Amino acid sequence: MALEALARVQVLVTTADEAGRVTAHGVPVALVRAQAAALALPLRVVTVPRGAPNAIYEAHLGAALAALKAQGIGVVAAGDLFLEDVRRYRQRLIEGAGLRAAFPLWGCASAEFAEAFLARGFAALTVAVDPRALPESFLGRPYDRALLRALPPSVDPCGERGEFHTFVTGGPTFRRPVAYRRGRVLGGRLELLPA
Protein backbone atom coordinates (compact mmCIF):
# COMPACT_ATOMS: atom_id res chain seq x y z
CA MET A 1 0.00 0.00 0.00
CA ALA A 2 3.01 2.31 0.41
CA LEU A 3 3.45 2.07 -3.36
CA GLU A 4 -0.13 3.22 -3.93
CA ALA A 5 0.48 6.32 -1.82
CA LEU A 6 3.25 7.54 -4.13
CA ALA A 7 2.78 9.53 -7.32
CA ARG A 8 5.22 7.45 -9.37
CA VAL A 9 7.29 4.41 -8.42
CA GLN A 10 10.34 3.70 -10.59
CA VAL A 11 12.21 0.92 -8.80
CA LEU A 12 12.02 -1.33 -5.73
CA VAL A 13 15.14 -1.68 -3.59
CA THR A 14 15.95 -4.47 -1.14
CA THR A 15 19.02 -5.67 0.72
CA ALA A 16 20.13 -9.29 0.60
CA ASP A 17 23.03 -11.36 1.85
CA GLU A 18 25.58 -13.06 -0.39
CA ALA A 19 23.42 -16.23 -0.37
CA GLY A 20 20.62 -14.28 -2.08
CA ARG A 21 18.25 -14.01 0.89
CA VAL A 22 16.56 -10.77 1.93
CA THR A 23 18.21 -9.38 5.03
CA ALA A 24 15.12 -8.88 7.21
CA HIS A 25 13.27 -12.15 6.66
CA GLY A 26 15.32 -14.56 4.57
CA VAL A 27 13.02 -14.74 1.53
CA PRO A 28 15.02 -15.64 -1.61
CA VAL A 29 15.75 -12.75 -3.95
CA ALA A 30 14.21 -14.85 -6.75
CA LEU A 31 10.82 -14.46 -5.06
CA VAL A 32 11.32 -10.73 -4.55
CA ARG A 33 12.18 -10.49 -8.26
CA ALA A 34 8.91 -12.32 -9.02
CA GLN A 35 7.12 -9.89 -6.70
CA ALA A 36 8.66 -6.89 -8.51
CA ALA A 37 7.77 -8.39 -11.90
CA ALA A 38 4.17 -8.91 -10.74
CA LEU A 39 4.15 -5.21 -9.84
CA ALA A 40 5.74 -4.34 -13.22
CA LEU A 41 8.70 -2.70 -11.48
CA PRO A 42 12.45 -3.23 -11.74
CA LEU A 43 14.26 -4.46 -8.63
CA ARG A 44 17.59 -3.19 -7.34
CA VAL A 45 19.25 -5.69 -4.97
CA VAL A 46 21.92 -4.33 -2.63
CA THR A 47 24.15 -7.18 -1.49
CA VAL A 48 25.43 -6.85 2.07
CA PRO A 49 27.51 -9.63 3.63
CA ARG A 50 25.61 -11.53 6.33
CA GLY A 51 26.45 -10.23 9.80
CA ALA A 52 28.24 -7.19 8.42
CA PRO A 53 28.60 -4.25 10.81
CA ASN A 54 26.39 -1.21 10.23
CA ALA A 55 29.25 0.71 8.61
CA ILE A 56 29.46 -1.91 5.83
CA TYR A 57 25.67 -2.00 5.42
CA GLU A 58 25.58 1.79 5.20
CA ALA A 59 28.43 1.89 2.67
CA HIS A 60 26.72 -0.65 0.38
CA LEU A 61 23.33 1.02 0.68
CA GLY A 62 24.89 4.48 0.25
CA ALA A 63 26.51 3.39 -3.02
CA ALA A 64 23.18 2.02 -4.28
CA LEU A 65 21.37 5.22 -3.31
CA ALA A 66 24.03 7.30 -5.08
CA ALA A 67 23.50 5.19 -8.21
CA LEU A 68 19.74 5.82 -8.01
CA LYS A 69 20.37 9.55 -7.73
CA ALA A 70 22.66 9.38 -10.78
CA GLN A 71 19.76 7.74 -12.66
CA GLY A 72 17.58 10.75 -11.90
CA ILE A 73 15.62 9.38 -8.97
CA GLY A 74 15.00 12.07 -6.37
CA VAL A 75 12.85 10.43 -3.68
CA VAL A 76 13.20 7.17 -1.77
CA ALA A 77 10.18 5.94 0.18
CA ALA A 78 10.04 3.59 3.16
CA GLY A 79 6.95 1.88 4.58
CA ASP A 80 7.58 2.59 8.26
CA LEU A 81 4.55 3.35 10.42
CA PHE A 82 5.73 4.71 13.77
CA LEU A 83 9.25 3.82 14.96
CA GLU A 84 10.92 7.21 15.17
CA ASP A 85 14.48 5.86 15.57
CA VAL A 86 14.11 3.72 12.43
CA ARG A 87 12.71 6.68 10.52
CA ARG A 88 15.61 8.92 11.59
CA TYR A 89 18.13 6.24 10.61
CA ARG A 90 16.59 5.77 7.15
CA GLN A 91 16.25 9.50 6.69
CA ARG A 92 19.94 10.02 7.51
CA LEU A 93 21.03 7.38 4.98
CA ILE A 94 18.69 8.54 2.22
CA GLU A 95 19.31 12.26 2.66
CA GLY A 96 23.04 11.59 3.04
CA ALA A 97 22.96 10.36 -0.57
CA GLY A 98 21.31 13.61 -1.67
CA LEU A 99 17.83 12.15 -2.01
CA ARG A 100 14.58 13.09 -0.32
CA ALA A 101 13.15 10.57 2.15
CA ALA A 102 9.40 9.94 2.04
CA PHE A 103 7.35 7.98 4.55
CA PRO A 104 3.88 7.73 2.96
CA LEU A 105 2.47 5.47 5.69
CA TRP A 106 3.96 7.37 8.61
CA GLY A 107 1.52 7.88 11.46
CA CYS A 108 -0.99 5.27 10.29
CA ALA A 109 -2.33 3.32 13.25
CA SER A 110 -1.20 -0.29 12.89
CA ALA A 111 -4.63 -1.85 13.47
CA GLU A 112 -6.25 0.50 10.94
CA PHE A 113 -3.49 -0.10 8.41
CA ALA A 114 -3.78 -3.88 8.80
CA GLU A 115 -7.54 -3.68 8.23
CA ALA A 116 -7.10 -1.45 5.18
CA PHE A 117 -4.46 -3.81 3.77
CA LEU A 118 -6.86 -6.74 4.04
CA ALA A 119 -9.90 -4.78 2.85
CA ARG A 120 -8.00 -3.73 -0.29
CA GLY A 121 -7.46 -7.41 -1.10
CA PHE A 122 -3.74 -7.82 -0.51
CA ALA A 123 -2.48 -11.32 0.30
CA ALA A 124 0.56 -12.11 2.43
CA LEU A 125 1.90 -14.84 4.65
CA THR A 126 4.06 -14.84 7.74
CA VAL A 127 7.64 -15.81 6.86
CA ALA A 128 9.60 -14.90 9.99
CA VAL A 129 8.89 -14.53 13.70
CA ASP A 130 10.87 -13.29 16.65
CA PRO A 131 10.56 -16.28 19.00
CA ARG A 132 10.51 -13.90 21.98
CA ALA A 133 7.24 -12.49 20.62
CA LEU A 134 5.55 -15.34 18.72
CA PRO A 135 5.87 -19.12 18.44
CA GLU A 136 6.94 -20.72 15.17
CA SER A 137 3.37 -21.98 14.74
CA PHE A 138 2.62 -18.54 13.26
CA LEU A 139 4.99 -19.22 10.34
CA GLY A 140 3.27 -19.83 7.04
CA ARG A 141 -0.05 -18.51 8.25
CA PRO A 142 -1.91 -16.18 5.94
CA TYR A 143 -1.86 -12.58 7.12
CA ASP A 144 -5.60 -12.31 7.67
CA ARG A 145 -8.12 -11.32 10.30
CA ALA A 146 -7.78 -14.70 12.04
CA LEU A 147 -4.05 -14.14 12.44
CA LEU A 148 -4.64 -10.62 13.74
CA ARG A 149 -7.10 -11.95 16.34
CA ALA A 150 -4.57 -14.60 17.41
CA LEU A 151 -1.74 -12.13 18.04
CA PRO A 152 -0.92 -11.48 21.70
CA PRO A 153 -1.71 -7.90 22.81
CA SER A 154 2.02 -7.17 23.06
CA VAL A 155 2.54 -7.81 19.32
CA ASP A 156 1.96 -4.98 16.85
CA PRO A 157 -0.62 -5.96 14.19
CA CYS A 158 1.89 -5.04 11.48
CA GLY A 159 4.95 -6.49 13.21
CA GLU A 160 6.42 -3.01 13.21
CA ARG A 161 8.83 -3.80 16.05
CA GLY A 162 10.12 -6.92 14.27
CA GLU A 163 7.80 -9.38 16.02
CA PHE A 164 7.07 -10.96 12.63
CA HIS A 165 7.66 -10.38 8.93
CA THR A 166 5.39 -11.11 6.00
CA PHE A 167 5.83 -11.60 2.28
CA VAL A 168 3.14 -10.05 0.08
CA THR A 169 2.06 -12.45 -2.66
CA GLY A 170 -0.74 -10.56 -4.36
CA GLY A 171 -3.20 -7.73 -4.34
CA PRO A 172 -4.85 -5.05 -6.45
CA THR A 173 -1.54 -3.57 -7.64
CA PHE A 174 -0.18 -6.98 -8.71
CA ARG A 175 -0.61 -8.14 -12.30
CA ARG A 176 -0.54 -11.73 -11.05
CA PRO A 177 0.04 -13.52 -7.73
CA VAL A 178 3.58 -14.52 -6.80
CA ALA A 179 3.92 -18.30 -7.07
CA TYR A 180 5.83 -19.95 -4.26
CA ARG A 181 6.13 -23.21 -2.40
CA ARG A 182 6.83 -23.79 1.26
CA GLY A 183 10.07 -25.27 2.47
CA ARG A 184 11.34 -26.00 5.96
CA VAL A 185 10.92 -24.02 9.16
CA LEU A 186 14.31 -23.10 10.48
CA GLY A 187 15.21 -20.76 13.33
CA GLY A 188 12.09 -18.62 13.30
CA ARG A 189 11.90 -18.47 9.50
CA LEU A 190 9.79 -20.25 6.93
CA GLU A 191 11.81 -21.16 3.87
CA LEU A 192 9.88 -19.95 0.84
CA LEU A 193 10.94 -21.24 -2.55
CA PRO A 194 10.05 -20.23 -6.09
CA ALA A 195 7.28 -22.46 -7.47
Q: Residue 67: give the domain boundaries.
A: 12-185
Decide if 89 is inside a domain. yes
Total structural domains within the chain: 1
Decide if 108 is inside a domain. yes
Predicted confidence (pLDDT) at residue 5 exceeds the cutoff of 80: no
Residue type, 94: I
Decide if 193 is inside a domain. no
Decide if 3 is inside a domain. no
18-64 pLDDT, tens digit per residue, is 999 998 899 999 999 999 999 999 999 999 999 899 999 999 999 99
Predicted confidence (pLDDT) at residue 3 exceeds the cutoff of 50: no
Residue 82 CB coordination number (10 Å): 18
Residue 126 CB coordination number (10 Å): 22
124-176 pLDDT, tens digit per residue, is 999 999 999 999 999 999 999 999 999 999 999 999 999 999 999 999 999 99
Predicted confidence (pLDDT) at residue 1 exceeds the cutoff of 60: no
Decide if 24 is inside a domain. yes
